[in-house]
Chains A and B, each alone.
Chain A
């Protein structure tokens, strides 16, 4: 995937609708951890957005931390997670 070759991208994970990672470029334990936690967070975020206005929907979610930035983009069946180091 061309995103992986982008500058500063540490890892990419594709998660299906149940929270099970399908494709990843990181190691297993990290992947499972990220997938589980971010899946729940995305569900919560999406629920929040849609509760306020049902016609609205979550496009993406960005979590910036001290060390890196985690970007999550939900889809109907999938969830795409990218971890990037933005300072590079």
Chain B
């Protein structure tokens, strides 16, 4: 049929032409018209209902689920187990090329199997040539071994620290003075090589000294015991008298023909004393010596100095116990320093610098002056009292007084008629007041002088012995007791003026015959005295208890202890002895 004939169904709408041309827009979307468009879900984050932005538009028209199972899945296995069908029935049909040898029979039901190439598997093996092993080795020389053992005591550790500290200090010093030290180093090198070659004896000198003292102590053991502990029991039976117990004897060969001219104890080291040796005889003047002995070693002196002229007097400085002032027969004075090695004094006065023209009879140290210089006084027969000051490297002298005979003191004006000079022989200073001192002269007069104003003569005594000395014995308490000793030839007399003025409480022969005793000194601490004679011999004696006795205290009365007591006693005695015809200045 070619012609199209439109067949109108019966219920078709009848529309007009205009209506037929009207275009109606139809939009085709893929949206599922049944899908909801406003699904709302609760959002916990915003705590409100929120519309979902995109809604699933999938419309499922037809679902048919299949009934095929994978053969390895669980369900399949279960089914197989039910039906007991062998697993690999399908292998032959799947076109395996060759038959595998070990696949079918035994390993049924087992999961682990070698997974090999299913198509074209082949295995081949071959072995390479193994190289023959060879051993190679080498050995080094073993390091040298030495056995080491040491102890680490506390003192070794301490030593190491001290050494380290010293090294550090040295390195600091080296850094500071590099240039100047170079020359010194060269000198030092020479010194060290010399000392290595020298005799070993010098190195053990210090130790030898200790041993010598020990040996001496053993040899003179009984003397040492006596010194410490012996007390003469017989003193209880004697009222006032006492005895002197001889202890050590000190002798030096080279000093045999010299006589002891001065003795002095050292304040700091209580067992050290100095002996000055020279000669009292005018015709027999030679050299002199200065020796230092210690009670610990009576066989050999600790220090020896030889001098050109005889030593007449000496004094050891109270604080600096290494400084010793010495007065010589030729009128000069010198100062020795024990710490220094040389045999020469560190200071010596010469003719230009105020040397005395006559022998110096006494020297005494004073306290340091305002500039902290050491100074000492000296007195000699030329009538002058001179103050020497140690300024840097030299001695500076200052004349203090010139003595004259008549009793009036002049200050040495030149050009005038010189009055006959008195010869001062000894002097001693007031314990507390520095500038006040007493001078004893050969004529037997005692002057009381003060440095600032040269005052007048106070007392006049008549004494015959030149070796008059006022000594003080200091015991453990501070009470002073004045004893007067006078040395007459070979005997030592002890006087205690408070007990008996004219009789000695002890007389004892100390030296052998033909020797004369010349000097005596007390030890400030121990109850011993040393006595020198004209043979260069020094004997030490111990005082028995009676001689050391302090004044008895009356019951109920307090005696003021101290130097004031003894000074007062002295004054009382002196006032009794004073000659009435001289003017007496009142005591201060």
Task: List B contacts of A77 (CB < 8 A).
Answer: 203
**Docked-complex contact A23 and B215, CB < 8 angstroms:** no
Which partner residue on chain A sits nearest B206 by CB separation?
A: A75
Task: List A contacts of B398 (CB < 8 A).
Answer: none
B357 part of interface (Cβ distance < 8 Å): no
With A22-B200, A54-B154 known as contacts, the answer to whether A73 contacts B215 (CB < 8 A) is no
Alpha-carbon distance A22/B212, docked complex (angstroms): 19
18 contacts between A and B (CB under 8 A): A6-B216, A6-B219, A6-B299, A8-B219, A47-B153, A50-B155, A50-B158, A51-B154, A54-B157, A54-B158, A60-B211, A69-B218, A73-B208, A73-B214, A75-B206, A80-B208, A82-B215, A84-B215
A65 part of interface (Cβ distance < 8 Å): no
Alpha-carbon distance A8/B299, docked complex (angstroms): 14
**Docked-complex contact A86 and B207, CB < 8 angstroms:** no
The residues in A between 1 and 55 inclusive whose CB is less than 8 angstroms from any CB of B are 1-3, 6-9, 14, 22-23, 47, 50-51, 54-55
Give the distance to chain A from B418, nearest Cβ to Cβ, in Å: 54
Alpha-carbon distance A2/B207, docked complex (angstroms): 13
B221 part of interface (Cβ distance < 8 Å): yes
7 tightest Cβ-Cβ pairs between the two chains A and B: A50-B155, A54-B158, A54-B155, A86-B218, A75-B207, A73-B207, A80-B207
B interface SS class: helix
B405 part of interface (Cβ distance < 8 Å): no
**Docked-complex contact A74 and B207, CB < 8 angstroms:** yes
B69 part of interface (Cβ distance < 8 Å): no
**Docked-complex contact B155 and A73, CB < 8 angstroms:** no
Task: List A contacts of B300 (CB < 8 A).
Answer: 2
Over the window 272-301 of chain B, the binary record of Cβ atoms lying under 8 Å from chain A Cβ atoms (1 yes, 0 no) is 000000000000000000000000000110
With A23-B200, A80-B204 known as contacts, the answer to whether A55 contacts B218 (CB < 8 A) is no
**Docked-complex contact B154 and A62, CB < 8 angstroms:** no
B76 part of interface (Cβ distance < 8 Å): no
With A14-B200, A78-B203, A78-B204 known as contacts, the answer to whether A50 contacts B154 (CB < 8 A) is yes
**Docked-complex contact A73 and B211, CB < 8 angstroms:** yes
Alpha-carbon distance A80/B210, docked complex (angstroms): 10
Give the distance to chain A from B157, nearest Cβ to Cβ, in Å: 8
- Interface residues in A, total, Cβ within 8 A: 30
**Docked-complex contact A73 and B219, CB < 8 angstroms:** no
Alpha-carbon distance A86/B204, docked complex (angstroms): 23
Give the distance to chain A from B73, nearest Cβ to Cβ, in Å: 90
With A6-B219, A69-B218 known as contacts, the answer to whether A78 contacts B153 (CB < 8 A) is no
**Docked-complex contact B211 and A3, CB < 8 angstroms:** yes
Task: List B contacts of A6 (CB < 8 A).
Answer: 212, 215-216, 219, 299
Task: List B contacts of A8 (CB < 8 A).
Answer: 215, 218-219
**Docked-complex contact A71 and B155, CB < 8 angstroms:** no
Which partner residue on chain B sits nearest A68 by CB separation?
A: B218
**Docked-complex contact A55 and B201, CB < 8 angstroms:** no
Total A-B Cβ pairs within 8 A: 76
**Other-chain residue from B210, B216, B299 in contact with A60 (beta carbon distance below 8 A):** B210
Alpha-carbon distance A7/B212, docked complex (angstroms): 11
Give the distance to chain B from A85, nearest Cβ to Cβ, in Å: 9
Give the distance to chain A from B226, nearest Cβ to Cβ, in Å: 16
The residues in B between 430 and 478 inclusive whose CB is less than 8 angstroms from any CB of A are none
- Interface residues in B, total, Cβ within 8 A: 25
Task: List A contacts of B153 (CB < 8 A).
Answer: 47, 50-51
Task: List B contacts of A71 (CB < 8 A).
Answer: 211, 214-215
Known: A75-B206, A75-B207. 18 other contacts (CB 8 A): A1-B208, A6-B212, A6-B215, A7-B219, A8-B218, A8-B219, A14-B204, A47-B155, A51-B153, A54-B159, A60-B210, A74-B207, A77-B203, A78-B204, A78-B207, A80-B211, A84-B215, A86-B221
Which partner residue on chain A sits nearest B161 by CB separation?
A: A54
Task: List B contacts of A84 (CB < 8 A).
Answer: 215, 218-219
Over the window 152-193 of chain B, the binary record of Cβ atoms lying under 8 Å from chain A Cβ atoms (1 yes, 0 no) is 011101110000000000000000000000000000000000
Give the distance to chain A from B130, nearest Cβ to Cβ, in Å: 63
With A3-B208, A75-B207, A78-B207 known as contacts, the answer to whether A9 contacts B200 (CB < 8 A) is no
Alpha-carbon distance A78/B203, docked complex (angstroms): 8
Alpha-carbon distance A82/B155, docked complex (angstroms): 27
Alpha-carbon distance A22/B201, docked complex (angstroms): 11
Task: List A contacts of B200 (CB < 8 A).
Answer: 14, 22-23, 78
Task: List A contacts of B299 (CB < 8 A).
Answer: 6
Give the distance to chain B from A79, nearest Cβ to Cβ, in Å: 8
Alpha-carbon distance A8/B300, docked complex (angstroms): 17
Give the distance to chain A from B301, nearest Cβ to Cβ, in Å: 12
Give the distance to chain B from A9, nearest Cβ to Cβ, in Å: 6
Alpha-carbon distance A68/B153, docked complex (angstroms): 33
With A6-B219, A75-B206 known as contacts, the answer to whether A62 contacts B155 (CB < 8 A) is no
Task: List B contacts of A23 (CB < 8 A).
Answer: 200
Task: List B contacts of A54 (CB < 8 A).
Answer: 154-155, 157-159
**Docked-complex contact B210 and A59, CB < 8 angstroms:** yes
Task: List A contacts of B159 (CB < 8 A).
Answer: 54
Give the distance to chain A from B441, nearest Cβ to Cβ, in Å: 45
With A62-B214, A82-B211 known as contacts, the answer to whether A75 contacts B221 (CB < 8 A) is no
**Docked-complex contact B158 and A9, CB < 8 angstroms:** no
**Docked-complex contact A3 and B155, CB < 8 angstroms:** no
Over the window 199-241 of chain B, the binary record of Cβ atoms lying under 8 Å from chain A Cβ atoms (1 yes, 0 no) is 0110110111011101110110100000000000000000000
Which partner residue on chain A sits nearest B199 by CB separation?
A: A23
Task: List A contacts of B215 (CB < 8 A).
Answer: 3, 6, 8-9, 71, 82, 84
Give the distance to chain B from A87, nearest Cβ to Cβ, in Å: 9
Alpha-carbon distance A84/B214, docked complex (angstroms): 10
Alpha-carbon distance A11/B567, docked complex (angstroms): 56
Give the distance to chain A from B379, nearest Cβ to Cβ, in Å: 40
